[in-house]
Amino acid sequence: MTVLLLFGTFILFLIIGVPIAMALGISALVSIYFGTNLPLGIITQKAFTALDSFPLLAIPFFMLAGILMGKGGVSKRLLNLATKLVGWMTGGLSLVTVVACMFFAAISGSGPATVAAIGGFMIPAMIARKYESGFAAAVTAAAGSIGVIIPPSIPLVLYGVIGSVSVGSMFLAGVIPGIMIGFGLMITSFIIAKRKGFQSDTMESFDFSEVLDSAWDAKWALLIPVIILGGIYGGIFSPTEAAVVAVVYALLIGLFVYKELTWQDVYDSFLEAVTINATTMIIIGLSVSVAYYMTLEQMPNDIASFLTSISTNPFVILLVINILLFIVGMFIDTISALVVLTPILLPIVTNVGVDPIHFGIILVANLALGFVTPPLGVNLFVASSVGNVRFERIVTAIIPFILSMLICLLLITYLPGLSLWLPEFLKK
């Protein structure tokens, strides 16, 4: 009865347009009031306790670093490098978009931020070169989802905190799957471009000397992931301290190296980061309240019993979980889903022998799909906004990219070495 009350009120509030954070909090409040004798203050208590976490400080700092880099000339230089690498191929601008999103993903940690930074340049450029507007926005939205898989990634930080898994190991585990998804999207873009006649429209041929020149021009941008990940795995600083280093580095290269970041830009960046982070933290806090109530009502045990009644085979259980996560990602944002589902699903999969690091990548890769699946699909709305493209056009054009990401997800799920090889190799 309490399960129906919790999820029934939550779905009702979503249908009538209540923001997700408020829908989570109110549904927990209603369920506690009518289903238990607990004081209602437990909701705020759990929300504030959840936010009292040093590792969670990495989230606002990575957000701020990504915004500063976007305004400080980093994205422009990464775009130029991507153009020299793949712009000569059929459908060159779409391939450039994917590669640029992969580069920017390695410094921003956010899917929507990646779409906004790269899409603002690339969607209008593709439309001007006679690419279909829906395709132009769709490839950008899909490529932007890589931002939550390639490190540093805000969802990977959050999963590591909730699941008591090393954030550094999660970052390493995301490298190969993120690159694989990027190549999958490039292949999809190339096939569509070939079929629809989008030509190599940015340059005539590949020129290695121009690639080297562009790489040299973008050297300060390319050093960012090296500094962040090298510092973490070299034991110089923690992931949270790495986020602060990223902010300082972004300020230095934006203000004094590229000199494209003004003090007004700095002010606007801090204001934007505070605004986004406030929303994020409210969602995290109230999601923890819901997760606490679900644990109190032993819902994780009920769900575990249901899944193991279907099968004890890890192959089958992971397939069922993938289907569940795909559906959840359509309706619930990534952060809320991570906070609520990680405590429920992690014990289930570890009991059947799935590595927590591997499952973290499965979980985040699944929820990355939620960025591009309607009706919630945040990346779709961002791409529609920055590219001035009708949402309906993007939804139609995104289908091949979703299929490509699903194939990559199955490979990630059933080939654990893709996620675990790099963390295990660097432990030796």
pLDDT digits (tens, 9 = 90+) for 274-312: 887 787 777 777 777 777 777 777 776 777 777 778 877
Question: Which pLDDT score is estimated for 142?
Answer: 93
Dig out the tokens for 142 from the structure.
């899909």
Question: Which pLDDT score is estimated for 403?
Answer: 95
| DSSP assignment string, 332-363 | S-HHHHHHHHHHHHHHHHHHTT--HHHHHHHH
Residue found by looking up tokens 């939205």 in the block: 141
What's the length of the chain?
428
Among residues 175, 173, 171, which one has the least CA distance to residue 419?
173
Average the pLDDT over 365-378 and give the result: 83
* pLDDT 10s digits, 201-215: 555 567 788 888 888
Contact 10, 23 (CB under 8 A): yes
List C-alpha distances in Å: 279 to 54, 274, 340. Answer: 18, 9, 17
List C-alpha distances in Å: 392 to 138, 279, 381, 395, 396. Answer: 11, 27, 10, 5, 7
For residue 257, what is the DSSP state?
I
On the question of pLDDT at 200 being above 60, the answer is no
Higher pLDDT, 394 or 15: 394
List C-alpha distances in Å: 20 to 15, 30, 41, 216, 418. Answer: 10, 15, 20, 44, 33
Ranges 174-178, 246-250, 325-329, most confident: 174-178
* pLDDT 10s digits, 101-128: 888 777 766 677 778 778 877 888 888 8
